[in-house]
């Protein structure tokens, strides 16, 4: 009985996948995810944040305050979601960004 083990995904591959995810959720293709697109993103992923939590996340990630989340700000969002979803103590233990990326990648594969 053989076991097939795939090679681990490189950081470059993960970033490319993040970019593809970002582009899918940027519904109007303007290079930024706005507040409504972010809400739809969470709904599609079945991530249940309150309106206040979504507002707080958007505000925290819209670093340049232009009311749109660019790709680099989206990466910050992924980190924050990972840190606070289901376990507020995650911040104390450290984080692996690629875990949350895998959740988003799974969604994308299901959509294809």
Say which CATH architecture domain 11-111 belongs to: Orthogonal Bundle (1.10)
Q: Domain-by-domain residue ranges, the chain?
A: 11-111
pLDDT of residue 9: 63
Digit-coded pLDDT (tens) for 52-95: 878 888 888 888 889 999 998 898 888 777 766 666 555 445 44
Please list, in sequence order, all residues whose beta carbon lies within 8 angstroms of the beta carbon of residue 77, skipping any fewer than 6 positions away. 38, 57, 61, 69
Digit-coded pLDDT (tens) for 25-43: 999 999 999 999 999 988 8
Residue of 98, 110, 82 lying closest to 24 (CA atoms) = 110
Structure pTM?
0.65
Digit-coded pLDDT (tens) for 5-14: 555 567 778 7
CA-to-CA separations, 95 to 33, 76, 100, 106, in angstroms, rounded: 24, 12, 9, 19
């Amino acid at each position: 009985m053989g076991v097939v083990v795939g090679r681990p995904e490189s950081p470059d591959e993960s970033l490319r996948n993040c970019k593809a995810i970002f582009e899918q959720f940027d519904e109007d293709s303007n290079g930024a995810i706005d507040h409504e697109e972010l809400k739809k993103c969470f709904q599609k992923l079945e991530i249940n944040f309150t309106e206040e939590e979504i507002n707080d996340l958007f505000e925290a990630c819209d670093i340049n305050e232009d009311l749109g989340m660019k790709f680099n700000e989206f990466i910050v969002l992924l980190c924050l979601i990972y840190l606070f979803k289901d376990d507020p103590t995650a911040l104390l233990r450290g984080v692996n960004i690629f875990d949350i990326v895998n959740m988003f990648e799974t969604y994308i594969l299901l959509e294809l």
